[in-house]
Every structure is written in structure tokens, then in C-alpha cells.
Structure 1
């Protein structure tokens, strides 16, 4: 029982990272209604940039570890912010009125570009951060021996705080109402004085910020984010949000959290080599079931 509970609590941390990615994805897709494969790449690129700049500050500039970590955070934020603005202007703006598949192809190319950029910058080497805030925090009493590290607790709290703040903005502020209006009827919103292009740019920046935060948290916890991580995470989030619906960021985040929990339990009881195959099979089954139910309702 204690082993199962430990897997569940570890799964909460995994679920928090997936929830952030799914929440950010729906912020974009809810407005553009276009398939975007770049979010996973932004996740990995943010983590890679943070680790590479931290390693540079530590080994080349002879900074202390806190100063090197701070430098890595600042540079990662600047890179992701500039990248998000350029993508909004150079990819989404020109392709918004075109075929839906054009954005899919463009963001796939962007993902490959970011993966290769990170690989070349790292000289095809893996850099690792030292363990940070690894002191165990006891849960459910000392007799069970269940614990999470301090960093895991912080990551979960940050993820919950971001999702909760996002929902408050969505439901209680004018920004959330404008997002929902543009998502439902962009042309009618434009007639009411709302600039859909500006809203889209702001949503893309917000989504990339959320995904970059997830990459930063993952880099702090795991100590490394590999070059090919972005593609796998991007595909998982795409399938998760397709199964949960693209109109509500909170629904997508909850669905992603469930998948993160399933991954944790699978890794504890079955072979890790088959984990991704099992997750994708589950998502395909959910998608097929959901599609059949929708077709039955139309009939």
C-alpha cells in the first residue's frame, strides 16, 4: 500500500507538469483552431536554454550556483519571449487565413529547428544540474515512509497556482471574456471593437510562457532535458487536448493530469520501455470512443 501511495504522490508531480503544458496549448488552440506542434519544443527549448546558460555561467564565468541559476532563468525568459512574439508575427499572422494544415507544417518545422538549435548549442552533449532542494518532505505520517522532495512540492504548488490564476482570469476578468469571445466568434468580436490579432498574440505569449515555465520546472527537477523530449511531449499534449476538448483550458489540464498519473503508475508496475506506447494507445482509445459518441448524438 505504501508503494502505491508513493507512486500516486510522484504522479501528482508528473501530472502538474502535464497540466501546465495542456493549459498552455489550449490557450492557443482555443483561438486559432489550428494544430500546433511547437509547444513541446518550447518546453524542451526553455529547459535546455536554462541548463546551458547555467552551465556556462558556472564553468566559464565562474559564477556562484545561485547567480548561474539566475542568469539561466533570465536568458531563458528573454529567448522564449522573443521567440513567442516572432512566432506570433511570422507564423500565425500570415497563415491565419490559410489552410489549417499550414500551421501544422510550420510549427513542425519550428520544432525541428529548435531541437537542432539546442543540440548544436550543446555540442550534442548532455549537461546536468546538481540536485536542488532534494530534502524529503514526509507525507501521511513518518510510519508509512512516503515523501516528496522540497522541489517536487514547490513545482506542484507553482503549477496549481498558475492554473488557478489562469482560471480566475478566464472566469472573472475582461481578458477572459475577450478570449472566450474571440474563440467563439472572432468576426463578431472584431465588429465590437476587439482586435483578434492582438488577442491571439497575447494568448501565444501567455501559452509559451506557461510551457516555458513547465520546461524550467522539469529542468530543475530532472537536472536535464534531452533534445528529443519536445516532440514526444508535444504529441502527448496534442492527443490529450484532442480527447478532452480544445475549448476549455481547465478541462485539458485535468485530462493531462490524469495521463501524468497513469504514466507514474505504469512506470511503477510495468516496463518503462512500453510506457509511451501504452499512453498513446489509451489516448487513441479515448479519442475513438469520444468520436463515436459524438457521431451517435448527431444521428
Structure 2
């Protein structure tokens, strides 16, 4: 029983990261309505930028480790804002009215470019951060086993819950949320009613990029490293998870992504891990087929 509890606790952390990514993807997709392959690349690029900047600050500027990490986080957030603005104004907005395949091809190019930039910046080397806040917090134990989470896992989960809850409340109650739903439903009608669809579009894309960056920062701090190709892996997972949870409902997408992370953890604990991704993708495809009719007929 304690082993099962440990897998559930592990799933809470991985599910929290997926939930934040899915929330940001749905926030962007609500106004874009196109497949965005660059989203996972923003996640990996910002996480990798945080690590590289922290390593540079520690080795070159002789900063203390906390100061180097703070510098890395600031750099990752700055790059996320820059990427959000560039993608919104130079990629998404000019191509939003064209064929959906145009956006897919453009965002695939952005993904490859960001992957290569990360690889070249690191000179094809892997840089690792030291373990941080790795003290275990015991939830249950017996003579042979303890079910634990580390302090950084608990902090990550708390941050995700706070961010998703606050952002979800703002979407449901604020003026921006009402305008976002109006633009998602019909941007032309929203414009006739005095809403600025372009401003809402740019704000939604920027918000999605910041969610991806925050997830990348937390993943980098926990795992210590983010590979060059992680953007494609995470991007495809979030694409499928969000398609099942609902492209136009960020909160529902986040809950679906959290459930996906829990499923991955349970599979890794009881079945061969090399088959995990294959079976999880199979489950997502099956759910897409079963839930396709009428999905996202309106914005919740």
C-alpha cells in the first residue's frame, strides 16, 4: 500500500507540470485554433536557458548558487516574454487566417530552431544543476518503506496550484476573461462589440509562453537538466492531452493533464517503463476517438 502511495505522490508532481503546460497551451489555442508545435520548444528552451545562465553566473561571475539560480530564472522569464511577443506578432497573427497546415509547418520550424539554438549555446554538452531542496518529507512509513516527496516537489505542486487557480479565477471573473471567451467564440463579433481581438490575442499567447517558461524552470530545478529534444516530447504530449481535455477550456485541460501525469507515474511503478509512452499515447488516441463528437462546441 505504501508503494502505491509513493507512485501517487510521484504522479502529483509530474501531473502538476503537465497541468501548467496544458493550461498555457489551451489559453493560447483558444484564440489561435491551430496546432502549435512550438509550445513544447518554449518550455524546453526556457528551462535550458535557466540552466545555462545559472551555470554561467556561477562559473564566470562567481555568484553564489542562489544568486546564479535567480539570474537564470530572470533570463528564462525574459526570453519567454520575448518569444511570446515574436511568436504572436511575427508568426501566429500573420498566419492565423491561412490554412491550418501553414501554422503547423511554421511552428515546427520554430521548434527546430529553438532546439538548435539550445544545442549550440551549450556546445552540445549537458550541464547539470546540483540537487536543491532535496530533503524528503515523509507522508507515511513502516519498518521497510517510506512514502515521501522532496521539498522542491512540494513547492512545485503548490506553485502550480496557486498559478492555475488564480489564472482560472481571472478567466472566469475578470474583464480579460470575458473578452478572451468572446474572442475565442467569434473574434469578428467581439470586435464589433468593442473588444480588441489583437490585444487579447497577444496577451493570451504571452500568457501561454509564461506558463511554459514557469514549467520549464520548475522542471530544470527539479531534474537538474533538460535535454535539447525534450521540447518535442513534451509538446506532443501536451497537444494530445489538451485535445482530450478541451482546447477551449484551460482548467479542464489542466485537470486532464494532471490525470495523465498520474497515469504515467502509476504505469512506471507497475509496468515496463519502456512501454509507458506507447500505451499512454494509445490511451489518448482512444479517448480522442471516443470523445470527438461535439467536443468543444462552445467555450465553457
Q: TM-score if structure 1 supplies the norm length?
A: 0.95
Query: What per-residue deviation string (whole Å, max 9, x for no partner) do you get for residues 97-132 of structure 1?
Result: 211221111111101100010011001111000000
Query: What per-residue deviation string (whole Å, max 9, x for no partner) do you get for residues 27-77 of structure 1?
Result: 011111111011110110011000001111111221110111111111111
Check whether the contact 2:42–2:83 (CA below 8 A) recurs between aligned residues: no
Q: Which residue of 2 aligns with 1:233?
A: 234
1:8 Cα offset (Å): 0.3
Q: Which residue of 1 aligns with 2:191?
A: 190
Q: Which residue of 2 aligns with 1:17?
A: 17
Check whether the contact 2:2–2:140 (CA below 8 A) recurs between aligned residues: no
Q: Which residue of 2 aligns with 1:56?
A: 56
Query: What per-residue deviation string (whole Å, max 9, x for no partner) do you get for residues 262-293 of structure 1?
Result: 111111112222111111111111111113x5
Distance in 2 (alpha carbons) for counterparts of 1:205 and 1:40: 14
Distance in 2 (alpha carbons) for counterparts of 1:64 and 1:241: 39
Distance in 1 (alpha carbons) for counterparts of 2:109 and 2:226: 20
1:226 Cα offset (Å): 0.4
Number of positions where the alignment pairs a residue of Structure 1 with one of Structure 2: 294
1:206 and 2:201 correspond:
no
Which segments of 5 or more consecutive residues in structure 1 lack a partner in the other structure? Answer: none
Check whether the contact 2:2–2:141 (CA below 8 A) recurs between aligned residues: no
Distance in 2 (alpha carbons) for counterparts of 1:175 and 1:110: 28
Q: Which residue of 2 aligns with 1:128?
A: 128
Distance in 2 (alpha carbons) for counterparts of 1:93 and 1:243: 25
Distance in 1 (alpha carbons) for counterparts of 2:285 and 2:75: 38
Q: Which residue of 2 aligns with 1:217?
A: 218
Which segments of 5 or more consecutive residues in structure 2 lack a partner in the other structure? Answer: 296-300
Query: What per-residue deviation string (whole Å, max 9, x for no partner) do you get for residues 140-195 of structure 1?
Result: 46776211100000000000011100111011111111110110111111011111
Distance in 2 (alpha carbons) for counterparts of 1:88 and 1:267: 37
Residues 76-95 of structure 1: pairs in structure 2 closer than 5 A: 76-95=76-95
SS in structure 2 opposite 1:139?
strand
Distance in 1 (alpha carbons) for counterparts of 2:182 and 2:279: 37
Query: What per-residue deviation string (whole Å, max 9, x for no partner) do you get for residues 194-237 of structure 1?
Result: 11111000000000001110000000000000011100110111
Distance in 1 (alpha carbons) for counterparts of 2:108 and 2:116: 12
Q: Which residue of 1 aligns with 2:73?
A: 73
Query: What per-residue deviation string (whole Å, max 9, x for no partner) do you get for residues 232-259 of structure 1?
Result: 1101111111112211101111111111
Distance in 2 (alpha carbons) for counterparts of 1:217 and 1:6: 20
Q: In 2 relative to 1, CA 62–240 (structure 1 residues): closer, same or farther, beyond 3 Å? A: same
Distance in 2 (alpha carbons) for counterparts of 1:204 and 1:142: 48
Moved more, 53-62 or 155-164: 53-62
Q: Cα RMSD (Å) of the superposition?
A: 1.3
